[in-house]
Structure 1
Amino acid sequence: MAQDTHSENASAQSRVRVTHSRPQERYEAYLGDEYIGYLDYVDEIEQVVITHTVIADRFSGQGYGGQLVRHVLDDIAPTHKPIVPVCPFVAHFVEQNPSYASMVARISR
């Protein structure tokens, strides 16, 4: 019996494992034991600035970056610190996933 594509994609994405290195201010993503990318941030007193997200070319476009960002935002949420998404990928992710919009720091001009 053939599996539908959605189930296969969900299965592949569920294998993404994320580790967190607080000293490096970095989250790293793995598919099995294979390193696929990272997200860098700066943990400030009143906010978390998300500076950069990188997914290896051969893994891009498969949803792994989104899985990494979702994990990071879910990890930050309990701290109640707002985020500053300097990274365009994270800014786009939040724009596409409005449930995270309340996490974005309000910047007055």
Structure 2
Amino acid sequence: MGETGTVHIKHLPGQERYEASVTSDDGTDLQVGYLDYVSEIEQVVLTHTVIYERFSGHGYAGQLVKAVLDDIRPSGKKVVPVCSYVEAYVGKHPEYADMAVSVQR
């Protein structure tokens, strides 16, 4: 069973989660991972990004994080990249640097 390269993102605000899926060759949607967050008044804390091992190495995490940041941007909220993957992604993509608040470690 193969997977296509385009990730479909589903926002579940009640669960404070974005889910990523791909469509298999037989048309089945397969969840490949998720990103959890905590929404606050002026910021969104991005806490955890997971891509299931079976789907790692296909660039799905980057597509997921980009979609999440693009979804948050219009709100004007800052993001707090507690998740190390999100922090690294923002570091490599300066177009999102204006959204990020540094995390005290």
Q: Tell me, in whole angstroms, the C-alpha distance in 1 between the residues paired with 2:74 and 2:33.
A: 24
Structure with greater strand percent: 2
Letter aligned with residue 94 of structure 1: V
Give the structure with higher Rg (CA): 1
Counterparts of 1:105 and 1:89 in 2: how far apart (Å)?
Answer: 15
Specify every segment of 5 or more residues in structure 1 that has no aligned partner in the other structure, as ranges.
1-11
Q: Which runs of 4+ in 1 moved over 3 A?
A: none
Shift of 1:106: 5.3
Indicate which of 91, 105, 108 corresponds to 2:87.
91
Q: Give the TM-score of the pair, scaled to structure 2.
A: 0.87
* 2:66 paired residue number: 70
- In the TM superposition, 1:29-48 aligns within 5 A as 29-32=20-23, 33-48=29-44
Distance 1:21 1:47 in 2: 17
Aligned residues: 96
Distance 2:32 2:99 in 1: 26
Q: Which protein is richer in helix relative to its size?
A: 1
Contact 2:81/2:103 (8 A) holds in 1: no
**Cα 1:66–1:46 shift into 2, 3 Å:** same
Deviations 1:19-63 (A, max 9, x none): 000000000000110010000000001100000000011111211
- Aligned-pair identity (%): 55
Gaps of 5+ in 2: 24-28
Scaled by the length of structure 1, the TM-score of the pair is 0.83
CA-based RMSD of the aligned residues comes to: 1.4
